[in-house]
Amino acid sequence: MTLIAYQVRMAWKSLRRNPGHTAIVAGGIALGVAVSTVFATVRHSYAKDPIPEKSDDLYYVRLDSWGPQEPYPGGGPPTQVTYQDLRNLMRSDIPVRQSGMFKSFLYIFPDPKMARPQKEIVRMCFADFFPMFQVPFRYGGPWDRKADEKAEQVVVLGKEMNDRLFGGENSVGRTLRIENREFKVVGVLDEWRPSIKFYDLTQNYVQAPEQIYIPFNLLVAMQPPVAGNDDGWKNQEVPGFAGKLVSESVWIQFWVELPTAEHVARYKAFVDAYTLEQKKLGRFQRPLNNRVQSVTEWMAEVRVVPKQTTAMLAVSLLFLLICALNLIGLLLGKFLARAPEIGVRRAMGARRLDVFVQHIVECEMVALAGGAIGLALSLGGLWAVNLWTKSITQRTDFFQIDWKMAAFAALAALAAGLVAGVYPALRVCRIPPATHLRMQ
Amino acid sequence: MEIGPILRAIRRNKARFGVIAAEVALTLAVVINCVALIADSRRQMAHPSGFDDDNLLYVDSIPFGEAFKEGGYKRAALDADLSALRATPGVKAAMNTRFVPWGGGGSSGEIRPVGSNGPMFRTQQYSVDEGLIDTLDLKLLEGRAFSRAEVDRYTRQLGELFDSERPRGPDGHPVDKFLQEIVISRHFGEKVFGKQPSYLGKLLEDSDTDQYQVIGVIDEFYNPYPWPIDEDVIFFANRGISYEGGSRYLVRTEPGQANAVARTLQDSMPRINNQRSVRVQLVSDIRQNFFGPQRITAWLMGLVVALLILVTALGIVGMTSFLVTERTRQIGTRRALGARMVDILRYFLLENWMVTTIGILLGVGLAIGLNIALLTVIEGARIGPGIIITGAVLLWLLGLGSALVPALRAARTSPAVATRSV
Amino acid sequence: MLRMTNIKKVYRTDLVETHALADLSIHVKPGEFVAVMGPSGSGKTTFLNVAGLLDTFDAGEYLLDGVNVHQLGDGEMSRIRNQKIGFVFQSFNLIPELDVFDNVDVPLRYRRLPAGERKERIQRALEQVGLGSRMRHLPSQLSGGQQQRVAIARVLAGDPKLILADEPTGNLDSLMTHEILDLLERINEEGTTIIMVTHSAECASHAHRQIHLRDGKVAEVDEPPSLVRGREPLAPGLQ
């Protein structure tokens, strides 16, 4: 048997001999791990990459079309683009996919047997939206670019909406009345729960994605209200919805897919060139300040992660440290009470390092057990946090443990075990050989 | 009192006593900062809005009938709604407005003094009607708000103005300037004009060079906004109806009647017009929701503080017990040399008090350092001497209480331990 | 000085009742130097514990310096231990984290003497045992003999009437043993009563009188053939 395996076996025996003591140490570590894992997960839920497979390919486009007097509050370009800029930018063929989009609030009229008429959030977007953001489909699929061009009255439903309106059946081909138009269902989504609504960081991005999607180009005919942010630096010159489309109001989110660095460079050049062109027409009176940012860059600029969560994570790590410190007394008592046995082992040839390692092994075994308990406790804690935040997030699964957080819990447990065990192990390995053989 | 020998003994055993001091120091530092976070959350939640939040209701009418698209119909519907609201028993005042206290957003615009070439000032701006003062329970510092006649006149004028495209001059601004009367908050007045004895009559203009004249100034206004204009507002007279005919109202009830009136309205409003759905919310609920993150922070930090105190108490008990057990022989010897039980008790409590004090001194320094780091992230969490002293006292008591049990056990050691063979 | 009459002490556990002291009667007069001897299990340590008020007894009468110690409270017993009795232990029982000065200081603190008087007594006691220059050393820095001398200084600083010594030379080599025993003799010559528990006949020979214990009572009392007060170990034939 290798030395480590032997030491593990000895450690296991020692732990079993004092089950109460072992339980308290494991419990102390479990508590520290639970609290720190909960807070780490809370922060991680905001910070993690919502679409790791494509976060490097998707870019959010912003132009500084704001007024000459003052910059947009916050300093950078506005968070959305104007309608005319969207149209002009989408003429470029550099992106492999692109989509402008916005949120509206429209009345839907389901089959009266299923549900009452209700105003619902509807996202108006282009066909590319779905493959760009890897939206999963259960039945059917997205509409195609031709449907975009023709502004067909087609609709994609989310899973929950489909459950509510059509009892969860395959509703492809069925019709749904939105406002005073009949729409044909072309696709139904599977459960889609990105960690945050990264494609629209302008409002409420912790909420779940929308449940109804229709083609963007219908807006000219439908003149739908804009349910998202709608800002402008000067009043609309022409009244009505038509006037809105030629105004300087920013209310549209615009994403492009640029698979290589070369694409990115070319597109940035295109955007800047477009801006300069518009300046000649009297628009864009601010200095050149455009942005073409990847998902992670845009998330960082919006500061998705609330500062409080970082502060609370720091506090929880200190809490873990304190839990570990408070276990030192217990471990000192247990280890030094074994002084006679250690003296005998040393007399029989155990080096100081062997004694040290054996006790560290024992500590870490308990620590890992405590870590497992702590991880289980943190699941409960997160369930509670999800419940409390339901009114803000409108969902109960925002704070989730993934394998990264499980790894964090394991690391936290091992670190706590070290903090608690190093000093007692050092003390005990300094016991000279067989001091107590001359006893009795 | 054996302060000298105890201090010397502590110095010779730095590691063991250092553990206890470190526990105390870290716990103090974390507890103080957690309490600061809790205090900050509570302070935010207690911020007064200047309105009668507990008795305010927000009523939202969302039409789905086609009839609502017609101008005359929707104006009549709005009038009917307002009359019904104001006639409902238990209602003190009501107004038509898009302003929702504690909504977390709203609408804003930029204006500056007429003739100024300086920057524009962003401010919250909301259309209101004659019920402004009574519904929001505002205090007019000077001037007045809008009469019903004025509201009707402005609504008509604004409707005509924006129905069609306004002719614009060569400078891009509309040819026919419009003058709107506004009620502003004192905070905004000071921001734009500096401290003045009166703001009545002052003129401002927007980017279209339409003008605004101050006819009233209110004292307190607070509505948290995504931009730093929480206390800045201008109210103008207009009955606001959305394009589809949707309208919003704020209703003020008699004290204590908010819930009852809300139930009544949820029932009665749809019956006045069934081509729309009606949503009635208590502003106190909206406020509660707005402070969701603060409430959660306070709760979680409270939990951490409670757990910390428990864990540290147990830790001190454990470490002190160990230090007592380790010195059993020494305790027996002291007893043999003439120490009474109370002398032993006093010795260990004194030793513990000294270590705790060292820990507290370290902890205060740590707390301040931690707080400086915290302030870079959360501005309102500054700590003052009061909280530090309270924390120190708490930890002294904690240390004393935790050490009591092991110290009592030490005092009960029999002197015969001294003659026991090793 | 010490008069024990029919002292009984019983240790009870669930299974066994041990009569550590059974009908023990001992009388030690002031100024005597007595050695208490006996095989292991004879009750020597228990006798010492009872004599020094470290432990209670179950029956009999014990008069210490004329005071009946029956039913004295812990506070009273502690006071007597502090002021009238001095202990010398086999394993020295110095407090490891205190230096020599602070160790000797311990019983004086419980007597609530002012700092000046304490310092004077400590210095005097350490000089008496020849360790005046080592006041700030730690016990770990001293030899066994030196440590025991510090323990004796601790006793001397308190100026007790009775010294109880438990195998005082048990952990020392022969050279140090002589030193310590000579020291004890000198202290006794100045009037302090000494009761020394030992199993070594050689140590016992420094005493005036030997008491043998067996099974918790006195077996025999020995007076050495010639009462010679001096430094040489007593052996038959030597004057």
pLDDT tens across the length of chain C (239 residues):
788 888 888 887 777 777 778 888 888 889 999 999 888 777 888 888 889 888 888 888 899 888 888 888 888 888 888 899 999 998 888 988 889 999 999 889 888 888 899 999 999 999 988 898 888 999 999 998 899 999 999 999 988 999 999 888 888 888 888 888 888 999 999 889 999 998 888 888 888 888 888 877 777 666 554 444 444 444 444 44
Picking from C167, C162, C17, the residue whose alpha carbon sits closest to that of residue C81 is: C162
Q: What is the percent of chain A where pLDDT is above 90?
A: 65
Position A217 pLDDT exceeds 60: yes
What does the pLDDT read at residue C221? 64
- What is the chain C residue with the closest CA to B330? C95
- What is the chain B residue with the closest CA to A27? B311
Position A79 pLDDT exceeds 90: yes
Position B58 pLDDT exceeds 90: yes
Picking from A402, A332, A413, the residue whose alpha carbon sits closest to that of residue A369 is: A413
Q: Pick from A302, A335, A366: which residue ends a domain? A: A302
B322-327's contacts with Cβ under 8 Å and 24+ in sequence apart are B322/A329, B322/A330, B322/A332, B322/A333, B322/A336, B323/A329, B323/B16, B323/B406, B324/B348, B324/B406, B324/B407, B324/B409, B324/B410, B325/A333, B326/A336, B327/B410
Contact residues on chain C for B2, CB-CB shorter than 8 A: 109
Contact B339 C78 (CB under 8 A): yes
| Range A35-54 average pLDDT | 93
Residue type (1 letter), C133: S
End-to-end CA distance of chain A: 34
Q: What angle do CA A185, A190, A193 make, to 5 degrees?
A: 125
Contact residues on chain A for B167, CB-CB shorter than 8 A: none
Domain count for chain A, please give it. Answer: 2
Contact B5 C105 (CB under 8 A): yes
| Domain annotation covers residue A351 | yes
A161, A226: one domain: yes
A147, A75: one domain: yes
A73, A11: one domain: no
Position A297 pLDDT exceeds 90: yes
Position B206 pLDDT exceeds 60: yes
Instruction: Tell me the average pLDDT of chain A.
Output: 90
A323, A418: one domain: yes
Closest CB to C89: pick one of B12, B340, B419: B419
Position B406 pLDDT exceeds 80: yes
Probe site for chain B from A18, A281, A315, A378 (most B CB atoms < 10 A) = A315
What does the pLDDT read at residue A323? 94
Picking from A350, A140, A105, A346, the residue whose alpha carbon sits closest to that of residue A230 is: A105
What does the pLDDT read at residue A340? 81
pLDDT digits 0-9 by tens, B90-148:
999 999 998 999 988 888 888 999 988 888 899 999 999 999 999 999 999 999 999 99
- What is the chain A residue with the closest CA to B314? A326
Is residue A233 less than 8 Å (CB to CB) from chain B? yes
What does the pLDDT read at residue C169? 87
- The H or E element that residue B396 is part of is helix B385-411
| Domain annotation covers residue A435 | no
Q: What angle do CA C189, C195, C197 make, to 5 degrees?
A: 130
Is residue A114 less than 8 Å (CB to CB) from chain B? no
Q: Which of B10-19, B377-386, C136-145, C157-166 has the lowest mean pLDDT?
A: B377-386
Residue type (1 letter), B362: L
- What is the chain B residue with the closest CA to A178? B64
A409, A274: one domain: no
Is residue B300 less than 8 Å (CB to CB) from chain A? yes
Q: Which domain holds residue A423?
A: 3-50+306-429
Is residue B415 less than 8 Å (CB to CB) from chain C? yes
| Domain annotation covers residue A418 | yes
Chains A and C: 3 or more CB pairs within 8 Å of each other = no
A101, A160: one domain: yes
What does the pLDDT read at residue C227? 45
- The H or E element that residue B389 is part of is helix B385-411
| Domain annotation covers residue A76 | yes
Q: Pick from A302, A321, A337: which residue ends a domain? A: A302
- How many whole angstroms separate alpha carbon A317 and alpha carbon A409? 11
Q: Which of A131-145, A213-227, A368-382, C15-29 has the lowest mean pLDDT?
A: C15-29
Pairing of strands B247-253, B56-63: antiparallel
What does the pLDDT read at residue A434? 67
- How many whole angstroms separate alpha carbon B189 and alpha carbon B184? 7
Is B151 or A351 the better-scoring residue by pLDDT? B151
Tell me the ipTM for this assembly: 0.82
Position A435 pLDDT exceeds 80: no
What does the pLDDT read at residue B190? 94
At residue A436 the predicted structure's pLDDT band, cuts being 50, 70 and 90, is: very low
Q: What is the percent of chain A where pLDDT is above 70?
A: 98
Residue pair A68/A233 in contact by the 8 Å Cβ criterion: no
Q: Which of A34-48, A344-358, B117-131, C59-73 has the lowest mean pLDDT?
A: A344-358
Q: How far is CA B326 from CA A150, A336, A360, B239, in A?
A: 87, 9, 22, 82
Q: What is the dihedral of CA A90, A93, A97, A103, to 10 degrees?
A: 0
End-to-end CA distance of chain B: 30
| Domain annotation covers residue A278 | yes
A120, A151: one domain: yes
A362, A265: one domain: no
Residue pair B121/B35 in contact by the 8 Å Cβ criterion: no
Q: Pick from A302, A318, A340: which residue ends a domain? A: A302
Picking from C174, C153, C134, the residue whose alpha carbon sits closest to that of residue C88 is: C153
Q: Residues of A numbered 283-302 whose beta carbons fall under 8 angstroms of chain B's beta carbons: which are they?
A: none
Give me the domains of chain C, ranges plus CATH numbers: 2-222 (3.40.50.300)
Q: What is the dihedral of CA C118, C124, C127, C132, to 10 degrees?
A: 30
A276, A320: one domain: no
| Domain annotation covers residue A395 | yes
Q: For residue A250, list its beta bridge partners.
A: A231
A171, A272: one domain: yes
| Domain annotation covers residue A372 | yes
| Domain annotation covers residue A362 | yes
- The H or E element that residue B111 is part of is strand B108-113
Is residue A308 less than 8 Å (CB to CB) from chain B? yes
- What is the chain B residue with the closest CA to C48? B419
What does the pLDDT read at residue C234? 44
A163, A177: one domain: yes
A39, A151: one domain: no
